[in-house]
Chain A
Amino acid sequence: MNIIDTIEKEQMKKTTPQFSIGDQVDVSVKIVEGDKERIQVFSGVVIARNGGGFKETFTVRRIVQGEGVERVFPIHSPKIADIKVLKSGKVRRAKLYYMRGRTGKGTRLQEKFEKENPKATSEPVTAKKKSEKEKT
């Protein structure tokens, strides 16, 4: 293994959360204000994953006050405390750039349910309602 690979591997997180394109996620970002450190949550839809290994990044898109906001996070950044998957969207693309041209109801994704997880399938209505509330 060459030195660059070794250096990159040393900086990689041992475990990274499992999430995929189209997932509604809460990304907890550490923010330092003066001496204090607090956690800010950025929630939105994962529309792209770029790169691989240590340099992998993912893009999260959300609508804030009618304006689309996208943030690109490096997966192995120490500033990212946690990535929580709220629900998974049913998508057929690896990059959801078509979301950029959409507004309102068009930004919704059909929810994908894990077959192994009966709990998620049992209460789809409440989950959907909650998501609509977040977006408006």
Chain B
Amino acid sequence: MLSGFLGKKIGMTQIYTDDGCLLPITLIQAGPCSVMQIKTVENDGYSSIKLGFDDKKKKNATKQEIGSAAKVSQEPKRFVREVKPDAGADIKLGQSITVDIFTDVKQVDVVGMTKGKGFAGVMKRWNFKGGAQTHGSTRHRPPGSIGSNTDPGRVIRGKKMAGRLGVERVTIKNIDVVKIDKDRNLLFVRGAIPGHKGSYLILNKSRVKRIGK
């Protein structure tokens, strides 16, 4: 009914499959999300569903947030994003959508913000090799030459250098959904996903099929 959904990373643990294999999994608090607004082609030029996830205290919300939430008799939300509805989906304003929409979904694309690493050098940020650690070398981690001499007389734009690393929007595609816990609104996905614990995520049903597996 929806191609996307909102969630929150809880953390990682392990889980045994039915055949006794131990899988690394990330727990995602997926929903329940409220439908805050329905955008239509007639009204807005395109169709989408505005979902809200995780209640926010009214004292921390702006008047605009309180007002638009009150329109659909909801609390203001911390995380609000638009997602595409499937064709012919029956979605009402103020409706609460749960993790049930992932019931038959095998893989999801997870969108999140990566952890901030601060000001990082080129070895960490761009996987430069650096210099030798021993054999009399004192050139351990610097980037080396960043260009030529008089010609061109400048550093080429986009040169990989040290700088801020992380806090970047990243999509990890085709993550296996291992299990769904409908009572607690939990999504168990295989492996790691971007972001720190408690960071918000957009969960899209995978469109591209993985080749091979």
Are B14 and A4 touching (Cβ within 8 A)? no
Tell yes or no: A71 within 8 A of B by CB. Answer: no
**A35 CB, min distance to chain B CBs, angstroms:** 12
Q: How many A-B residue contacts, CB cutoff 8 Å? A: 31
| Assembled-state Cα–Cα distance A2/B22 (Å) | 21
Interface string of A44-81 (1 = CB under 8 A from B): 00000000001100000000000000000010111100
Are B27 and A3 touching (Cβ within 8 A)? yes
Q: Which residues of B contact A55 (CB under 8 A)?
A: 14
Tell yes or no: A30 within 8 A of B by CB. Answer: yes
Q: Interface size of A by Cβ–Cβ distance < 8 Å?
A: 15
Are B16 and A8 touching (Cβ within 8 A)? no
Q: Which residues of B contact A7 (CB under 8 A)?
A: 13, 15, 27, 186
Q: Which residues of A contact B191 (CB under 8 A)?
A: none
B interface residue numbers (CB < 8 A to A): 10-11, 13-16, 19-20, 22, 27, 29, 184, 186
Which secondary structure dominates where chain B touches chain A?
Answer: strand
Are A77 and B20 touching (Cβ within 8 A)? yes
Are B16 and A77 touching (Cβ within 8 A)? yes
| Assembled-state Cα–Cα distance A4/B181 (Å) | 13
Q: Which residue of A lies closest to B186 (CB)?
A: A3
Tell yes or no: A32 within 8 A of B by CB. Answer: yes
Are B20 and A4 touching (Cβ within 8 A)? no
| Assembled-state Cα–Cα distance A4/B188 (Å) | 11
Q: Which residues of A contact B27 (CB under 8 A)?
A: 3-4, 7
